[in-house]
Chain A
């Protein structure tokens, strides 16, 4: 229908940004800039910079109050529920921070049809209707053919299917959308080109530009919803988050028929032994969540079980719109758990029933179904 064809992608628009001067422009924001941003009703990317800057720290309570109201206005008193399902931990990439990295000596496993259905059975018993399929990147064994088969198996049981897998070509996305994929999540990890290469030395993932143009390919393929994010810790989180927000602003204008969501995966100081360039505190993560909401009233903000119980319980009211619970990060983890296969150890291990109670106690309705298999 409205497919827009163009050679321009975010990579072209971005060019070679002067990272240090962008970073400096964030760190130079003053309390006055923050006040001005807070008092506006429509905020631009410069305001976003002010809201994520160190100068905004004393204004956190003001930001949180506004974020709470803006989120309720748009999303109501609801939290959308989803659950990840790991299909495979095979991976041909080396990523310095990841438990599935090619050089990590773990047992590799890819689920068979039978195993997929066993997982589905357990997940359905928890009540989920929105599912997120996750893999590493092993194009030969876990490529488009594998996904098409998995989606065909899974589709009868879920109203909404999201995937978090290796970046694909436009035609491949078109195939997956036709088969029933509604949402695709691809995180840039870091928008810092040189640092990206350092953390992704080997495999198809080492191509920074191919990854950066993924959302353009998704937009052209006509995806319903796409997710963005940076892996917080690889670079200065403020600069990386600003780049991510710029990316989102570009996409919203160009692929205006797609919905967007942002995630905030935080690397733990210990994970994989990789040295983190910046460690983000809880207070700073709240600042980032609120900054996104104040700048963009419509974007979905998602929080996984990577975060602690206490943190998750308290940010329900602050701008988050979707949450997972009861998650396993090893393929087969619901029906046949095996911690030796997992990508990372989750923090919040409470049951779905427990999380639902927490959400309801905060005055929110957990929503399991907000899409339908008949919709694209």
Chain B
């Protein structure tokens, strides 16, 4: 399988993970290690950056993990930029998952504020990975603004509903010049495999692993699904057709 390159980093694993909703930090650590994930996102609001022994950060202190701070909780571009600066300083990374969801009910991203913030953060030297609707035009606008990747949603965060936006994600994958990471809504390994077969560069999974009965086993299940989906994509899936192919082709007379 080909490695994934985003900005200055190369990833063997195409499974990105979240750190929320686990029943303990210990279990989070075990599940994420088992998943093989190399990029884990952490909400700035959940970590105590003043505290050297923050519970979440302590459990993520492994060479396997690169930290991807996220701006969950901000409602505007201005707040996002402020939070990003704080995250860069505190966690010593210029990577940022940009999340601006002013709607706390469905946590749907604000495209206008997200574009504004991406422009500004890219100029300030951040590696920006914005969480967005599966909107192909917005993706092109974000490319122009200097985004490092795009993270379209499969369905609302935490909904486990899978790839409800698959038609639009296909267009995004077809048109994109930056990596496409399907984020949010992936509720089962089969959803992740489907996204990878479609040609997504990576997926981000949190709830489905954290809330399962056995997060460690589920982490492994997602690892395998993402690998299988990627291998299938690289091996080129056979085309599907609704009708059987005729054994006596209609145009064979032209070959004589």
A residues apposed to B, CB below 8 Å? 1-2, 72-78, 129, 159, 225, 252, 256-259, 298, 360, 363-365, 367, 369-372, 374-376
Contacts and interface: CB of A to CB of B under 8 A. Distances in A.
A76 B22 contact: yes
B46 A370 contact: yes
A375 B158 contact: no
B164 interface: no
Closest 10 CB pairs of A and B: A76-B21, A77-B23, A259-B104, A372-B45, A375-B73, A257-B102, A298-B105, A363-B23, A72-B211, A371-B45
Contacts of B86: 372, 374
B52 to A, nearest CB: 15
B190 interface: no
13 contacts: A1-B75, A73-B207, A75-B21, A77-B21, A77-B22, A159-B45, A159-B48, A225-B104, A256-B105, A258-B104, A365-B25, A375-B73, A375-B74
Nearest to A252: B105
B24 interface: yes
Contact of A257 (B44, B82, B103): B103
B187 to A, nearest CB: 9
Nearest to A300: B104
Given A375-B74, A376-B79, A257 B23 contact: no
Contact of A372 (B44, B75, B102): B44
Contacts of B45: 159, 369-372, 375
B7 interface: no
Among B46, B76, B207, find the residue whose CB has the most chain A CB atoms closer than 10 A: B46
A158 to B, nearest CB: 12
Contacts of A1: 75-76
B160 interface: yes
A326 B158 CA distance: 32
A77 B210 contact: yes
B102 A73 contact: no
Contacts of A77: 21-23, 210-211
A367 B46 contact: yes
Contacts of A76: 20-23, 207, 210-211
A73 B160 contact: yes
A2 B207 contact: no
Contact of A369 (B22, B46, B75): B46
Contacts, number: 76
B73 A371 contact: yes
B79 A257 contact: no
Interface in B8-63: 20-25, 44-48
Contacts of A2: 102
Contacts of A256: 102-103, 105
B83 interface: yes
Nearest to B23: A77
A134 B231 CA distance: 58
Nearest to B44: A372
Contact of B23 (A364, A369, A371, A372): A364
A73 B107 CA distance: 14
B186 to A, nearest CB: 13
**Residue of A75, A259, A360, A365 ringed by the most chain B CB atoms within 10 A:** A365
A63 B20 CA distance: 26
Contacts of B210: 76-77
Nearest to A78: B21
A252 B24 CA distance: 31
A315 to B, nearest CB: 17
Nearest to B71: A375
B112 to A, nearest CB: 10
Interface string B155-182: 0001110000000000000000000000
Given A372-B45, A374-B86, A257 B21 contact: no
Given A129-B48, A252-B105, A256-B105, A365 B22 contact: yes
A73 B79 CA distance: 27
Given A73-B158, A298-B105, A360 B24 contact: yes
Interface in B85-138: 86, 102-106
B211 A365 contact: no
Most buried by A among B22, B44, B104, B207: B104
Contacts of A78: 20-21, 23
B104 A298 contact: yes
A370 B46 CA distance: 5
A119 B112 CA distance: 43
Contacts of B105: 252, 256, 298
Contacts of B76: 1
Contacts of B74: 375
A369 B48 contact: yes
Nearest to B78: A1
Interface string B62-82: 000000000001111001001
Contacts of B104: 225, 257-259, 298
B111 to A, nearest CB: 14
Contact of B83 (A225, A252, A375): A375
Contacts of B24: 360, 365
Nearest to A129: B48
Contacts of B160: 73
B98 to A, nearest CB: 15
Given A364-B23, A374-B86, A369 B207 contact: no
A360 B55 CA distance: 15
